Amino acid sequence: MMKKRNTFHRVLYIDLDKNAFKIRNREELFKKYIGGTGVAIQLLYEECPEGIDPLSPEAPIVMAIGPLTGVFPLASKTVALFKSPLTGNLGESHVGGRSAVAIRMAGFGAIVIKGKSRNPVYLSIHDDKVFFKDATTIWQMSSSFTAGRIIRQKEDDSGLRSIMRIGQAGENMVSYAAVTTETYRHFGRMGLGAVFGSKMIKGINISGKSSIDVEDRKSYRKLYKTLYDAAVDSPLMKKYHDLGTAGNVLTLNELDSLPTKNLRHSRLEGVEKISGEHLAKHFLGRRVACAHCPVGCIHLAAVREPSEHEEHFYKTTMVGYDFELIFALGSMLGISDPEVMLKLIDQVEKYGVDAMSIGVCMAWATEMFMKKKITTEHTDGLNLKWGDGKTYEQLVKKIVLQENDFYKALAKGAEYAAEQYGGKGFAMSFGKNEMAGYHTGPAAYLGFLIGARHSHLDNAGYSLDQTEMINNPITSHEVVDKLIKEEGLRQLLSSLTVCFFSRGIYKIDVIKDTLKEIGLDLSVEELNKIGEQIYLDKYRFKFREGFEFDKLHVPERIYETPDLTGLISPEFIKEGLSYAETRIKESIG
Ligand code: SF4
C-alpha cells in the first residue's frame, strides 16, 4: 500500500557518534529557500562550526533535493554542501542517478550527517528508519563497483532506491575523492568522498515508498506534458542524447579551446579518435538516464579485452564517458587513443576519485617530470610522459594510496603540490579547484575564479567567451556582471535541483508555473531575489571561513597559450577580480 503524505519539508538528521537519528519538520526553511542549494546553505550555516577542519567529525554533510523532484521531469539532482577538504572552504557537488527521487520517496527534502562512526558503516535509510550497518568487510576493497554490488545484494529493498558509496580514494581521504551513485553518476567535485571517509561512511542505501499528491491533476498533467514534450523535442536535448557532451570535443579543439598537455597547447593532434563522434561509432554500448529524465545523456562505452585465462573469451567493461572525462583523462594528458583513455577512466572510477582533479594533477606532475623539477625518486620509479596511459593507471593508484610524500602532496590537489614542489605557474587550479576543460578565454577563467564553488557549471563563463568575447569584446566589468547574474539564476535551478542541461526548458516563467502547481506561489521578481540571495549567502559563508579574493592564485599558463579570443591579458583578469570583490562585498553589506 502506497503512503500519501507531504514529507518534502522534513529533514533527517543523522548522528554517527551516537548511531542515532531524528526527523524535524522544517517547512519554514523550504518555503523561504525552495529546496536544494537554497535550503542546504542555510542548514550548513546552522550545523557547521566556524573554522572547522573539513575532515573533523563535527563538519556536517548536507544533502538536499528540490520540490519538483519526483513531480516534473529532469528535477533529478541531489546537491551536497559541506566544507571542502580540497579548498578548505565551501564545498558543493551535485549528483543525478536515482539519488534525488529515492530521497524524496524515503520522505525527506534534506539529510544532515554529523559525527564519526567508530568502525566503517554504511547507512541504510528506509522510509522513517535509519540502520547503521557494519561495512568492515567492504572497507579498502579495491573496486568501488564491487562494494556497491555487495551493498545491493545485502539490502533487500522494495520501492525506489539509490546506493551511494566511496572507493579507496575516499577511505584514504584524497582531497578530491568522489562519491559514486548508481555506478556512472558522481558527487565528483571538491572532495565529498574524503568527508565520507573521515566519518567512516562507506556508503548510503536509501529507499522508500512515499508518493506525492498534486492538487489539480488536470492542470498538472497539462504542464507535465508541456515539459516532457519540450525535453524530448528540443534540439539541445537531442544533442545531449545523441553524442552527449562528448560532442563538444571537436568543436572546442577547432576553436583552440581544448586544454591539451597541461594547457601547453589548446589543440590535440589526433583528437578525432577521442571525439564523441568516434566514440559513438566504435564504442557506444548503451545510453542511460537519471530517474525521471526522458533525455538519457549518459553514454557508456563497451570496452572489450581478451581474457588472460581463456582463449577466445573477452571481458566487456562498460565505461561512462563525457566531455569533462575526455578533457581530463584524454587531451590534458596528451592521450588520443580511445581504448587507452577509456581504461584510464575505468581505473579512476574504480578508485572513486574526481576525474577532473586527478587528470589536472597528473598533467601538472608530467610537466614537472619532463622539466626535471621532479625525478623518479618522487614518482617512485614512474617515468611520466604525455599519452602513456599504462603509466597513468599506475599513477592513479599511487596517488590514491599516497605511499610517499610527493603522492601525499598530490592527493591534496595541484595547487597544494605546487606550493611544496614548485611549478605553480602551470598548476591549473582556480580557487584550489582543478580547472574544467574550457580554455575559451577570459570569461571562462573569471567564471572559475568568482563562482561560489569555483566550478564552470554555475555561471558558464565559457559560453560568454564564445558569444560575447569573440565578436565584440565586452569589458571585464560587464563580464563579471553577466557572470553574477547567471550564477543567481543557476542558484534557482539548483534549488529546484533540475538538471542544468534543461536550463533552456526551465526558464523563469516555467519555474514560476511549476512551483505554483505544487502550491508555492512566487512572482518572477521574488524568484530572482531568492536566486541572488542564495549566491550571496554562499559568499557570506566563504568569507566567514576565510576566503579572500587577494589570495586567489591565477596560474600564468592561461596568459601564455592562445585561446579562441587570442591571448588573455592579466590586466583583464585583475580588473575583473577587483570589480567582483567590490560588487559582492557591497551586496552583502
Ligand atoms: S540530461 Fe543527463 S544528466 Fe541531466 S537528468 Fe537527464 S540523464 Fe541526467
Q: What is the mean pLDDT of residues 245-252?
A: 97
Does 401 lie in the same domain as 485? no
User: Which of 499, 500, 502, 503 for a ligand 1 pocket mutation test, highest count of atoms within 8 Å of Cβ?
Assistant: 499
Please name the residue whose Cα sits nearest to atom 2 of ligand 1: 297
The alpha carbon of 297 and the centre of ligand 1 are apart by a number of angstroms equal to 5
pTM of the shown model: 0.96
Is the beta carbon of 382 within 6 A of some atom in ligand 1? no
Which pLDDT band holds residue 159 (cuts at 50, 70, 90)?
Answer: low
Does 410 lie in the same domain as 288? yes
From the CA of 292, give the closest atom in ligand 1. Answer: 5
**Side chain identity, residue 468:** E
User: Which of 79, 185, 295 for a ligand 1 pocket mutation test, highest count of atoms within 8 Å of Cβ?
Assistant: 295
What is the percent of the chain where pLDDT is above 70? 99
What is the percent of the chain where pLDDT is above 90? 87
Is the beta carbon of 562 within 6 A of some atom in ligand 1? no
Is the beta carbon of 505 within 6 A of some atom in ligand 1? no
Which pLDDT band holds residue 245 (cuts at 50, 70, 90)?
Answer: very high
pLDDT digits (tens, 9 = 90+) for 72-131: 999 999 999 999 999 999 999 999 999 999 999 999 999 999 999 999 999 999 989 999
Does 399 lie in the same domain as 254? yes
Is the beta carbon of 244 within 6 A of some atom in ligand 1? no
Question: Which of 211, 244, 267 delimits the end of a domain?
Answer: 211
Is the beta carbon of 295 within 6 A of some atom in ligand 1? yes
Q: Residue 163's beta-bridge partner residues?
A: 205
**Helix locations, 57-136, DSSP H:** 99-106
Please name the residue whose Cα sits nearest to atom 4 of ligand 1: 499
CATH number of 196's domain = 3.60.9.10
CATH number of 289's domain = 1.10.569.10
Select from 504, 412, 466 the least CA-distant residue to 190. 412
Q: Is the pLDDT of residue 430 over 80?
A: yes
Does 447 lie in the same domain as 372? no
Is the beta carbon of 300 within 6 A of some atom in ligand 1? no
Q: What is the overall mean pLDDT for the chain?
A: 94
Is the beta carbon of 457 within 6 A of some atom in ligand 1? no
Is the beta carbon of 101 within 6 A of some atom in ligand 1? no
Does 384 lie in the same domain as 268? yes
Does 429 lie in the same domain as 446? no
Q: What is the mean pLDDT of residues 282-303?
A: 94
Which pLDDT band holds residue 313 (cuts at 50, 70, 90)?
Answer: confident
Number of domains in the chain: 3
Does 167 lie in the same domain as 245? no
Does 195 lie in the same domain as 255? no
How far apart CA 174 and CA 399 sit, in angstroms, is 8
Is the beta carbon of 506 within 6 A of some atom in ligand 1? no
Please name the residue whose Cα sits nearest to atom 8 of ligand 1: 290
Please tell me the least confidently modeled range out of 28-42, 234-248, 304-318: 304-318
Question: Which of 417, 433, 449 delimits the end of a domain?
Answer: 433
Q: Is the pLDDT of residue 316 over 50?
A: yes
Is the beta carbon of 76 within 6 A of some atom in ligand 1? yes
Q: What is the mean pLDDT of residues 175-188?
A: 94
From the CA of 77, give the closest atom in ligand 1. Answer: 5
Residue 342's pLDDT is 98
Q: What is the mean pLDDT of residues 391-396?
A: 98
Does 565 lie in the same domain as 503? yes
How far apart CA 498 and CA 496 sit, in angstroms, is 5
Q: Is the pLDDT of residue 5 over 70?
A: no
Is the beta carbon of 184 within 6 A of some atom in ligand 1? no
Does 373 lie in the same domain as 241? yes
Mapping DSSP to helix (H, G, I), strand (E, B) and coil, where does residue 80 land? strand
pLDDT digits (tens, 9 = 90+) for 470-527: 888 999 999 999 999 999 999 999 999 999 999 999 999 999 999 999 999 999 999 9
Question: Which of 400, 433, 466 delimits the end of a domain?
Answer: 433
From the CA of 76, give the closest atom in ligand 1. Answer: 5
Q: Pairing mode, if any, of strands 78-83 and 90-95?
A: antiparallel
Is the beta carbon of 95 within 6 A of some atom in ligand 1? no
**244 within a domain of the structure (yes/no):** yes
The alpha carbon of 181 and the centre of ligand 1 are apart by a number of angstroms equal to 14
Q: Could you list the residue range(s) of the whole structural domain that residue 542 is in? A: 440-588
Does 188 lie in the same domain as 268? no
**Side chain identity, residue 408:** K
Residue 1's pLDDT is 37
Which residue in the block uniquely carries the three cell numbers 526548458? 505
More confident residue, 30 or 458: 30
Please tell me the least confidently modeled range out of 23-27, 133-137, 207-211, 439-443: 207-211
Q: What is the mean pLDDT of residues 161-172?
A: 95
Q: Is the pLDDT of residue 3 over 60?
A: no
How far apart CA 281 and CA 414 sit, in angstroms, is 35
Q: Are the C-beta atoms of 354 and 174 separated by less than 8 Å?
A: no
Which residue in the block uniquely carries the three cell numbers 533525455? 295
Residue 2's pLDDT is 43
Residue 158's pLDDT is 65
